[in-house]
Amino acid sequence: MKTLRLILGDQLNSQHSWFQNTNNEMTYCMFEMRQETDYVKHHIQKVIGFFAAMRAFAVILESQGHKVIYYKITDDNNTQDLTKNIETLINEKNIESFEYMQPDEYRLDKQLQDLCNKLSIKTNAVDTEHFYTTRDELKSFFEGKKQYLMENFYRHMRKKHDVLVVSDQPEGGKWNYDKSNRKKWKGDEEIPHYKSFRNAVDEILNDLEAAQVKTFGHFTTKTFSYPIDREQALEQLNYFCEQLLIKFGDFQDAMHTEEEYLYHSRISFAMNIKLVSPKEVVDTVIDYYRAHKSEIDISQVEGFVRQILGWREYMRGMYWALMPDYKSENYLENSNTLPEFFWTGNTKMNCLKHAITNSLDNAYAHHIQRLMITGNYALLTQIDPNEVDAWYLGIYIDAIEWVQLPNTRGMSQYADGGKIATKPYVSSGSYINKMSNYCGSCHYNHKEKVTEDACPFNSLYWNFLDDKRHVLKDNRRMGMMYSLLDKMDKDNLHQMKQRAQHIIESPDDF
Ligand SMILES: Cc1cc2nc3c(=O)[nH]c(=O)nc-3n(C[C@H](O)[C@H](O)[C@H](O)COP(=O)(O)OP(=O)(O)OC[C@H]3O[C@@H](n4cnc5c(N)ncnc54)[C@H](O)[C@@H]3O)c2cc1C
Ligand code: SF4
């Protein structure tokens, strides 16, 4: 039966059972489309990365003897629309059956289901064979529970997949070494240079220009540094094990003006487009640890495993459990506009300047920069979560809605009222000073609250607590902060609120 199989840009899993045999009746199709470049404004490196990896994947499939139809963004027969491209091919090639891998995004899932409902030929959707869990597994696990706690899910995953578990108990004695993942990096420990590839992408750049795709962000190196095929992804993973794992856990939350990546793996893009699976990543890291147990502490390894087996699978499960309503939640009723400096990095606040410049330069920021610098500021200044989402979805190389949305709207902006985070992730300047060297060279003073040179995070923090008292005061984890707020001198609070208001009204002056 003549079958058309669709491969989306984030479904580049060469280990998938689809590709184990070749078949003359089978045609694979892949499309670069305006539909995908335009649903949000993306960072230039993100678009380059997706197209480069897709083109490389098509070449590999063809070299293995598979039939592939590939539409570049500039091709005349490309309608730039997924539904139309598929319908046209089905007619032109007399296709009798259409198959696709389940998309990870709600938007594409709906589009493909709608298409299949219209088609008169046989259709079928298969699993991507990438994640540990199925779409609905987390929802079933938490059935009947009030709170969907990540830690409970994570322990279940450790046991179910026998990861760092001995007789149902955590290897090393603890399930979670989070408390030992909070060291500040002071410049005295050497950080190996990050693994960078030199993928030539001139042709893609020319095509994007010809198609007039609108992007933002910088691309000064002219070669693309993230992995674009499986071989490179495995190289990146091995490099992480050999060079970075040893201190990953210790400095997981640290930030530094001179070090964008510290000991982070930069593996998210490769994993999210499915060049490697989470199980391969976790197994490789644990194998390496077992062979080097005398050098590497279990806290470094558990810290990494938790991110992938825990957080990554948890976020995906939450996305499918809570969509589509999740995308419009705004529990704190925030409605301010994102400051202009998020698109330029032009601000005197050193922490934001570094986190945003890193994001614009590399389409990357690590977890704590995303959560406790940009996310923290956006929440404290009460920005509309739709604007925050659009920024995060556009700027990061690894941003795909299933993982971006629960992290941003939920974990970072508390717009879901605490379904993911048990309290809002907000802090004053003192946390940022504790975890980074940003404050040392900042225009502002992290110890001051209301003076002209006072750190904006300080007044914003207390103003936020005061403004949101009606919805947050009963949160047990906020109790201590509210009792401090209650004891605060009224004039002092008034002055801080005035300063905070000024910052919120004119963010680009700070
Ligand atoms: C506001 C916000 C938005 C985010 N948006 C995204 C996003 O769009 N795409 C994305 O992949 N990650 C996102 N994250 C999670 C995290 O910041 C990135 O996965 C990480 O920075 C990628 O860099 P790395 O590969 O060097 O990660 P490492 O620090 O080396 O961690 C290893 C891997 O763990 C996984 N991981 C770590 N934390 C998380 C998490 N919270 N959720 C899911 N997976 C996680 C990633 O796959 C990552 O590659 C977001 C976090 C926040 C706070
Ligand atoms: S002083 Fe405040 S604004 Fe400046 S780097 Fe520190 S936390 Fe950021």
Predicted confidence (pLDDT) per residue in 87-146, tens digit? 999 999 999 999 999 999 999 999 999 999 999 999 999 999 999 999 999 999 999 998
Q: How far apart are CA 313 and CA 1, in angstroms?
A: 36
Give the span between the Cα atoms of 45 and 53, in whole angstroms.
12
Ligand 2 atom with minimal separation from the 373 CA? 8
| Rounded distance from Cα 367 to ligand 1 centre (Å) | 6
Closest ligand to residue 457's CA: 2
Give the per-residue pLDDT at 222.
84
Distance 444 CA to ligand 2 centre (A): 6
Nearest to 308 by CA among 273, 326, 283: 283
The residue to which tokens 């379904």 are assigned:
419
Can you tell me which atom of ligand 2 is nearest the CA of 428? 7
Angular region, 197: left φ>0, alpha ψ -120 to 50, beta rest = beta
Confidence of residue 179 (pLDDT cuts 50, 70, 90): confident
Segments of the chain assigned to CATH 1.25.40.80: 137-198+224-321
d(CA 267, CA 271): 6
Cβ–Cβ under 8 Å, residues 219 and 45: yes
Please work out whether the CB of residue 389 comes within 6 Å of at least one atom of ligand 1: no
CATH of 340-509, one of 1.10.579.10, 3.40.309.10, 2.40.50.180, 1.20.1110.10: 1.10.579.10
Residue 385 has pLDDT above 90, yes or no: yes
Ligand 1 pocket residue status of 266, Cβ below 6 Å: yes
The Cα-based distances of 109 to 104, 115, 126 in angstroms read 7, 10, 12
Q: Whose CA is nearest to atom 7 of ligand 2?
A: 429
Residue closest via CA to ligand 1's atom 41 equals 311
pLDDT 10s digits, 402-448: 999 999 999 999 999 999 999 999 999 999 999 999 999 999 999 99
- The 3-class SS string of 66-121 reads CEEEEECCCCCCCCCCHHHHHHHHHHHCCCCEEEEECCCCHHHHHHHHHHHHHCCC
Task: Give percent of the chain with pLDDT exceeding 70.
Answer: 100
Assess whether pLDDT exceeds 90 at residue 147. no
CB atoms under 10 Å from CB of 248, counted, come to 23
Return the structure tokens found at 477: 């984890």
Domain 3-126, CATH number (from 1.10.8.100, 3.40.190.10, 3.40.50.620, 3.30.1490.270): 3.40.50.620
- Provide CATH 3.40.50.620 ranges for the chain: 3-126
What is the second-level CATH architecture of the domain 137-198+224-321? Alpha Horseshoe (1.25)
213: pLDDT confidence band, cut at 50, 70 and 90?
A: very high
Q: What is the pTM of this model?
A: 0.97
Asked whether residue 182 carries a pLDDT value surpassing 90, the answer given is: no
How many angstroms separate the alpha carbon of residue 455 from the centre of ligand 2? 5
**DSSP-assigned letter for residue 243:** I
pLDDT of residue 66: 98
**Alpha-carbon span 105 to 319, nearest angstrom:** 9
Please tell me the predicted confidence (pLDDT) of residue 178.
83
Residue 313, both tokens: 């699978």
Interhelix angle 456-467/490-505, nearest 10 degrees: 110
The residue whose CA is least distant from atom 1 of ligand 2 is 446
Residue limits of CATH 1.10.579.10 in the chain: 340-509
Between residues 483 and 179, the one the model is more confident about = 483
Instruction: Tell me the per-residue pLDDT of 291-320, one tens digit each, with 9 for 90 and over.
Output: 999 999 999 999 999 999 999 999 999 999
List phi, psi (to 5°) of 308. Answer: -95, -55
pLDDT for 80 beyond 90:
yes
369 pocket-lining for ligand 1 (C-beta < 6 Å) = no
Cα(481) to ligand 2 centroid in Å equals 20
pLDDT of residue 180: 79
Whether residue 255 has its Cβ less than 6 Å from ligand 2: no
Q: Please give the distance of CA 26 from its chain centroid, rounded to a whole number.
A: 34
